[in-house]
Structures are given as structure tokens and as C-alpha cells.
């Protein structure tokens, strides 16, 4: 995993995706998330909207599963258009950023081929027979890869609580394409790529995962000793802690200004004599 120049969550995702047979999709997602800036267009005003050839909603919506799937679908559409830069301009996608993503994906593909000690099918336009549109294998790989970045929805509202050493209340970023069910509720569990530190903390780039994938991770987290992993020392019993020495009282010198001057003069003369 150290050979991959990625965040640990993305590296774990690629390794698990290789086992699940969805490496091509995972490579695309990891490359899109590695872009230095946001590749997607910002919702614009009516005046600027009229200048565009396509509406903002024409972009893939991630099939309701979240932002990771949307990034995958966008790259696949670009691949179907023979990596045409004019297609990116029509949809207000950053041409320079998409070109960077393509280069990163090629480099990651070469690294994964070395790790797997063999030739892998890492083509972006790979289509598996009998493939379902729920991206189940990819989402399962993301769940395991982002095991330290899981969040559980609250019971009665769409707020989430992160799962881990220091849980906190967060919300899905307004720009997310994650869809709600018929009752207006988000999925029970999601993984997130990053947290945005604002007065109201948000999860950006989220993807829905299933409970049956999360339960084994929760069992491992219960047995996790964070203090041991961080190298922290166990606090000793009070009876084993040595007593501190009593404070030495200094008298005379602190209360007599003349004594301070004499002491300083003696130190000065001593340094001068040593020279």
C-alpha cells in the first residue's frame, strides 16, 4: 500500500477493488478525487446559465448513491466521447483538471499492475457482463477503504455522527448528489472523503454504503486500542509515582536589592577574569 502515492483510504480502496473485480472503476474514482481543485462547475446565475450549451442537471447524478459514483460516471462519459476537451468545455468541466486526472489514472494503473504482478484490465470503458447499476462491488470497496471515515445517520433527522475515536455531529454538504428515500431521509450509513471545518461541519464527497458491510468494521473498532497504537503510556498507580522534592526556600537574596547588585557584580568580574 505504501507504493501508491495516495491517501490511505484510497489505497485501501484500490487493493480491495482489485479483489472484488472493480479495479477499473476504483482507479477512476481515486484519480478524480486526486485533483487539486474541484472539477465540477459551480451553480451559476441565470445570465451565465444562458451561455452554456447544457444545463447543470445534464451531468450524471451518481444514480443517487453519492458523489464518488457521480465522479465515476462523469469520467466514463468523457471516455465515451474520446476524451474530447470540447466536451469538457460544454459542461463547464475544468479541461486542465480532467487532463491531470487522466494522467494520474494512467500512472496508478501502472503501479497496480506491478503490485498485482500481472496484467490487469484497467480500461476506463470496461463493461462487465451482468453489471448492475447499483455499483455494489465498488461501494463495498469504498466502505472498506474508508473504514476510518464512516458516518451513521441520526434516528429522526438527516444529521450524521462520525464513527471513530472522537465522534462528532456532521451534515452532508449541500453540493452532494446523495439522494433521499421516499421519506426524505438519507442512507443510514455513508463514507466521506473529507470534513470541511466551518461553523457547521460538513462531509464532502460522500457515498452510500450498506449496514452489512459496516458491522464487521464496527466490531474491529470496538477492539481497537487507540492509546496503544498511538504509542501512549499507561498511567501508573498513584503509589508508584515518586514524590516531588520539597521546594527549597531562598532567603535574603530575593528580599535585599543590594545583595542582588553585589551578586551580579561578582559574576561580571568572574567572567572578565576568565577572559
Cβ atoms of 217 and 146 closer than 8 Å: no
The reply to whether 1 falls in a domain is: no
Tell me how many degrees the CA angle 10-15-21 measures, rounded to the nearest 5.
115
- The arithmetic mean of pLDDT across residues 76-95, rounded, is 91
DSSP bridge pairs for 66: 207
Show the cell assigned to 3. 507504493
Domain that holds residue 95: 8-142
Residue 160 backbone phi and psi in degrees, to 5? -125, 155
Determine the average pLDDT of the residues in 71-84: 94
Q: Is residue 233 part of a domain?
A: no
Handedness of CA 90, 93, 94, 97 (dihedral sign): negative
Mean pLDDT throughout 134-141? 92
45/136 same-domain check: yes
C-alpha span between 243 and 114 (Å, rounded)? 58
Say whether both 95 and 215 belong to one domain: no
Taking the C-alpha atoms of residue 136 and residue 145, their distance in angstroms, rounded to an integer, is 14
Residues 137 and 170 placed together within one structural domain of the fold = no
Cα distances from 113 to residues 36, 50, 215, in angstroms, run: 25, 45, 31
CB 56 within 8 A of CB 177: no
Residue 163 grid coordinates: 464513527
- Terminal C-alpha separation, the chain: 61
Percent of the chain with pLDDT strictly greater than 70: 73
Whether 84 and 186 share a structural domain: no
Proportion of the chain above pLDDT 90, given as a percent: 48
Q: What is the pLDDT of residues 42-72, one digit of tens each?
A: 555 454 455 555 555 478 889 999 999 999 9
Query: What's residue 57's pLDDT?
Result: 46
Structural domain count of the chain: 2
Does pTM surpass 0.85?
Answer: no
Q: What pLDDT score was predicted for residue 127?
A: 47
d(CA 164, CA 169): 12
pLDDT of residue 259: 76
Domain limit, last residue, from 116, 142, 168: 142
Amino acid at each position: 500500500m505504501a507504493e501508491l502515492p495516495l491517501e490511505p483510504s484510497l489505497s485501501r480502496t484500490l487493493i480491495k477493488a482489485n479483489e472484488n473485480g472493480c479495479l477499473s472503476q476504483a482507479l477512476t474514482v481515486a484519480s478524480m478525487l486526486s485533483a487539486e481543485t474541484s472539477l465540477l462547475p459551480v451553480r451559476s446565475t441565470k445570465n451565465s446559465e444562458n451561455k452554456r450549451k447544457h444545463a447543470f442537471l445534464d451531468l450524471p447524478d451518481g444514480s443517487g448513491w453519492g458523489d464518488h459514483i457521480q465522479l465515476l460516471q462523469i469520467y466514463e462519459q468523457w471516455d465515451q466521447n474520446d476524451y474530447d476537451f470540447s466536451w469538457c468545455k460544454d459542461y463547464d468541466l475544468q479541461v486542465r483538471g480532467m487532463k491531470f486526472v487522466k494522467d494520474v489514472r494512467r500512472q496508478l494503473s501502472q503501479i497496480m499492475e506491478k503490485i498485482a504482478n500481472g496484467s490487469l484490465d484497467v480500461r476506463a470503458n470496461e463493461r462487465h457482463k451482468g453489471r448492475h447499476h447499483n455499483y455494489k462491488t465498488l461501494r463495498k470497496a469504498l466502505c472498506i477503504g474508508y473504514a476510518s471515515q464512516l458516518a451513521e445517520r441520526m434516528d429522526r433527522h438527516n444529521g450524521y455522527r462520525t464513527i471513530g475515536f472522537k465522534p462528532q455531529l456532521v451534515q452532508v454538504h449541500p453540493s452532494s448528489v446523495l439522494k433521499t428515500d421516499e421519506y426524505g431521509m438519507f442512507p443510514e450509513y455513508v463514507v466521506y472523503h473529507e470534513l470541511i471545518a466551518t461553523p457547521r461541519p460538513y462531509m464532502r464527497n460522500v457515498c452510500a454504503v450498506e449496514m452489512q458491510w459496516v458491522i464487521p468494521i464496527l466490531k474491529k473498532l470496538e477492539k481497537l486500542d487507540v492509546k496503544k497504537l498511538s504509542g501512549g503510556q499507561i498511567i501508573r498507580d498513584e503509589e508508584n509515582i515518586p514524590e516531588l522534592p520539597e521546594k527549597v526556600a531562598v532567603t535574603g537574596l530575593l528580599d535585599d536589592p543590594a545583595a542582588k547588585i553585589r551578586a551580579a557584580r561578582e559574576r561580571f568580574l568572574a567572567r572578565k577574569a576568565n577572559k
